[in-house]
Chains A and B, each alone.
Chain A
Amino acid sequence: MSCCVTCWQVCLFRQHKYVSLASKISIIPGHVMVFKRSIPAFSIYFRGELLYRKAPYPPTESQYGLIALVSVLSLQMTGSNEYKLNQGPEDSISAVKFSPSTGQFLLVSSWDCTVRLYDVAGNSMRIKYSHLAPVLDCAFYDPTHAWSGGLDTQLKTHDLNTDQDTIVGTHDAPIRCVEYCPEVNVMVTGSWDRSVRLWDPRTPCNAGTFTQPEKVYTLSVAGDRLIVGTAGRRVLVWDLRNMGYVQQRRESSLKYQTRAIRAFPNKQGYVLSSIEGRVAVEYLDPSQEMQKKKYAFKCHRLKENGIEQVYPVNAISFHGVHNTFATGGSDGFVNIWDPFNKKRLCQFHRYPTSIASLAFSNDGSTLAIASSYMQEQGDISHPEDTIFIRQVTDAETKPK
């Protein structure tokens, strides 16, 4: 949508790394960067897409201006497929979720204690409400009700039409996940108090508390089943219609802490990611034959000077139609994978900092990418937290 021309920054271009000569300021996408390679070509990149290239000799100084102008104009005319949301949260983003009925509205929860609703098409913030402490997750019950919970342990629901809050209940410790199960019509929350609680969204009130072996780190709904990922790499599968017992107890097939779990839209299985740059695809059917099909692969790793940097994979989101999924890691990359053919379909350009959350819209045409530093390396200065909205194409998300 809007792009601006920065001053002529002369940088050494290294493939896929946009590093300025002088320091490690990461270059925020959205600006036209004029790169001058050591030799032998001169190219202009905009958010990782090459706009203009001249080789082997760079243009003269006087030509720079014209070239940049032309590039910017051509971009504005064709429109970019990605833009930043305005009035973003003031601190890291913990979760982004699209409305179940339309890709127009996006709910965003943040460490600045607010939950915001954005009109993505118009790129504006519609509603904002607050908690007493950072909010760790949010979810839509229906297009007009948002639910959220966080460090203040309160589960709140907000009516988006009347802009009214209600406190539904609490946990004994911060709430880490909030999800909705449409098949059973129940809201599910998971918390660091080692419990999962169900809530009836209509009344609204508590519909049960179920102890887990460890702190809940992530959960996902598959049909009428609930998959819970806890500390200690445990994975539990519950039947939401019969919470008297755990349907399946498993151990994560990855050796490191579980970061995220997302169920396949076809409910056959789930994808699990860890902090160690690895993703596993597992199936729910406990039969030997299905269990043989499970696999894992490494991803979100960068090789630098002989040292491999391994990043946590923080976010997973499924494309509702194609059953392919996107993963976002702390390396700032988003990859799209085809789990059935076991291939990577696409990798986007690198975002300014870690990807904290991803969400596909219900029709799969839009991907919301929350780029927020997650303190992997302590409290250091980092690029600002932004949400990118990207229109994705079939070429990027459809199995080949």
Chain B
Amino acid sequence: MGRKKKKQMKPWCWYCNRDFDDEKILIQHQKAKHFKCHICHKKLYTGPGLAIHCMQVHKETIDGVPNAIPGRVDIELEIYGMEGIPEKDMQERRRTLEQKQESQKKKQNQDDSDEDDDDDDAPGPSFVQQQMPAAQPQASYVPPMAQPGIPPGARAPGMPPGAYSGMPPMMPGHGVPPMMHGMPPGMHGMPPGASGAVPHSVPSTSSDPPKATFPAYTQSSASSSSNPPSNTVAKPPATVTSKPATLTTMSATSKLIHPDEDISLEERRAQLPRYQRNVPRQGQVHMSAPPVAAVGGMMPPQQGMPPQQPGMRHPMHGQYGGPPQGMPGYMQGGMPPYGQGPPMGYQGGPPMGMRPPVMSPAGRY
């Protein structure tokens, strides 16, 4: 990369050791993460500025810079962007960067292509060992782990120097914001699998994984691994079966705002009784309690029931005799009006017996 004379080449944040493409972005980051008042969310310019603001306006003292890594929480140090960073820390950083670059270069010299991040050559581990004392896990890290899952996971535990220096080729720091929002929460949310792997991989994130993070991220998600459903082996793809399978759950700190079954939102909605009646008076959105409970109760039985479409065929057999308990079939006009009010008790039981026969694909319009 460019001119060596710049103080460290890429701007980095002293408080959390993250790398950035541009000093402007670095400053924005610092203002948003480290110099933001937790009470009124005002963004200040420096650490001492934040301390003074809190004291004057809120009459509160703060003891450290928010979101800073341990050792870098000093609120008295006036740091703005790259200015004000103590020389000692600058040198330390330079050294770490050089070490990383060297190990990266050496690794690269050994592979034929830079695309494959899955190399596990013999020279690798021992070589790296010389430079990064904790790099032994390199070997262990390489083969099994869902690597791309790891770098993101590894980034948080404060090993960013490695991760980040490699990043830029892939994703300009700016591109990262969309990631970043995801990332830090993703960190915590990063599934147990990744966190389990993190201890191994932390030291070894020095080499190519960061560089390959983005494509690897997607390749891995294309191929096999980690990310949210790391704790389960059977991924959603396995749901190409008759039953609408349930989604694999995410980690404890992430919650997917979606119903459990792996059918589309529209399919699920089409199963609601009010849409099955085929009368265009769907204005009442607020059906209130009974439907809510009913729908909830109905869902599970329905899952087992329809082999193919959760109720999207027209059975056409006026089997309804019974109440419209989610006669899953769609009736095309001309269906005898039920004359029953909406709040039909939903017994999943009886209809269950009724439905399967009804689900014949032969239903035609």
Contacts and interface: CB of A to CB of B under 8 A. Distances in A.
Contacts of A132: 278, 280, 332-333
A350 interface: no
Interface of B: 39-41, 57-58, 115, 171-172, 174-175, 177-179, 181-183, 185-186, 188-189, 214-215, 217-219, 221-222, 227-229, 235-237, 239-240, 247, 250, 253-259, 262-270, 272, 275, 278, 280, 282-283, 285-287, 291-292, 295-296, 309, 312-314, 330, 332-333, 361, 364-365
Contacts of A257: 236, 247, 262, 264
A346 to B, nearest CB: 12
B253 A330 contact: no
A217 interface: yes
A298 B186 contact: yes
Nearest to A301: B182
A174 B276 CA distance: 12
B229 A151 contact: no
B113 to A, nearest CB: 10
A275 interface: yes
B312 A173 contact: yes
B256 A276 contact: yes
A256 B247 contact: yes
A294 interface: yes
Nearest to B181: A301
A382 interface: yes
Contacts of B266: 94, 136, 176
A37 interface: yes
A301 B250 CA distance: 13
Contact of B255 (A192, A231, A308, A382): A308
A277 B332 CA distance: 36
Contacts of B255: 307-310
Contacts of A381: 285-286
B211 to A, nearest CB: 12
A40 B256 contact: no
A132 B330 CA distance: 10
A12 B182 CA distance: 26
A394 interface: no
Contacts of B258: 275-276, 312, 330, 376
A174 B267 CA distance: 9
B330 A91 contact: no
A49 interface: no
Given A134-B275, A257-B264, A292-B115, A232 B239 contact: yes
B330 A153 contact: yes
A112 B282 contact: yes
B361 A255 contact: no
Interface string A281-321: 00000000000111111110101001111111010000000
Contacts of B39: 39
Interface stretch (A64-72, A337-345, A362-370): A337-345
Contact of B40 (A41, A170, A174, A373): A41
**Which of B58, B257, B292: most chain A CB closer than 10 A?**
B257
Contact of A130 (B256, B264, B280): B280
B191 to A, nearest CB: 11
B40 A295 contact: no
Contacts of B285: 91, 373, 381-382, 384
Interface of A: 15, 37, 39-41, 56, 90-92, 94, 111-114, 130, 132-134, 136, 151-154, 170, 172-174, 176, 192-193, 213-215, 217, 231-233, 251, 253-257, 259, 275-277, 280, 292-299, 301, 303, 306-312, 314, 330-331, 335, 337, 341-344, 373-382, 384
Nearest to A110: B282
A137 to B, nearest CB: 10
A379 B295 contact: yes
23 contacts: A112-B280, A112-B282, A113-B280, A113-B282, A132-B280, A133-B278, A151-B312, A153-B314, A213-B240, A253-B218, A255-B221, A296-B218, A299-B182, A308-B189, A310-B255, A312-B265, A341-B172, A341-B175, A342-B178, A343-B174, A376-B257, A376-B258, A376-B265
Contacts of B309: 173, 192-193, 215
A296 B186 contact: no
Contact of B332 (A153, A172, A213, A231): A153
10 nearest CB pairs, A to B: A298-B182, A342-B175, A113-B280, A232-B240, A308-B185, A253-B222, A91-B282, A90-B283, A308-B254, A173-B312
**Which of B41, B174, B263, B264: most chain A CB closer than 10 A?**
B264
Given A39-B57, A257-B262, A152 B186 contact: no
A399 to B, nearest CB: 11
Contacts of B239: 231-232
A250 B115 CA distance: 21
Nearest to A338: B175
Contacts of A311: 257
A174 B312 contact: yes
A295 B217 CA distance: 8
A341 B240 contact: no
Given A40-B40, A40-B57, 13 more contacts: A94-B266, A153-B314, A193-B309, A251-B222, A255-B221, A257-B262, A275-B247, A276-B250, A299-B181, A343-B172, A343-B174, A377-B257, A379-B291
Given A111-B269, A375-B268, A376-B265, A254 B221 contact: yes
A217 B330 contact: no
B198 to A, nearest CB: 18
Contacts of B228: 255-256, 276
A364 to B, nearest CB: 21
Contacts of A153: 314, 330, 332, 365
Contacts of A330: 257-258
Contacts of B219: 253
A68 to B, nearest CB: 22
B222 A151 contact: no
Given A40-B40, A153-B330, A91 B283 contact: yes
Contacts of B292: 378-380
Contacts of A337: 178
A39 B280 contact: no
A249 to B, nearest CB: 13
Contacts of B236: 232-233, 255-257
Nearest to B235: A255
A253 B177 CA distance: 21
